[in-house]
């Protein structure tokens, strides 16, 4: 699994709370994601990277260093789901931030949830 996708998954589990109000990553990890859901996440992340590679490579402006794929995976999840941070919050270069925000929002929302079997799935599928 590439750095973008790992970061996306880590952010999804960290930023989403379960029925108990606690972040999913308190009890669950990537190994708890349903296989078909994991495949869908990987395909979605690959498509986003393919369509936005030049802007991802521009990387965010954090302490003068670029951490493009890791930051992009994190910000992709946050932006597409309307969290209070993301591509648009000032870390990404002008132009890239706007294009990445638009692309993430166009992808639509995706939120993980715990199924009755204790596996992580996503909505919409």
Res. 64: pLDDT tops 60: no
The conformation of residue 64, written as its DSSP 8-state character, comes to T
Quick one: pLDDT at residue 67?
74
pLDDT digit string (tens) for 10-40?
999 999 999 999 999 999 999 999 999 999 9
Give, to the nearest 10 degrees, the angle between helix 35-58 and helix 96-107: 160
Decide: residue 50, CB within 10 A, 0-12 exposed, 13-18 middle, 19+ buried. exposed
The whole model's pTM is what? 0.93
Residues 112, 90: Cα–Cα separation, whole Å: 26
Structure tokens at 71: 């930051």
Helices (H), the chain: 3-15, 35-58, 68-80, 96-107
């Amino acid at each position: 699994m590439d750095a973008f996708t790992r970061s996306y998954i880590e952010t999804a589990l960290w930023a989403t709370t379960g029925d108990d109000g606690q972040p999913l990553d308190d009890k669950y990890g990537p190994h708890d994601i349903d296989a078909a859901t994991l495949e869908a996440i990987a395909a979605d992340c690959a498509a986003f990277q393919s369509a936005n590679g030049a802007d991802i490579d521009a990387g965010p402006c954090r302490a003068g260093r670029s951490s493009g794929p890791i930051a992009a995976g994190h910000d992709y999840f946050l932006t597409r789901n309307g969290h209070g941070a993301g591509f648009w919050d000032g870390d990404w270069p002008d132009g890239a931030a706007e294009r990445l925000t638009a692309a993430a929002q166009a992808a639509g929302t995706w939120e993980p949830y715990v199924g009755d079997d204790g596996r992580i799935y996503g909505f919409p599928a």
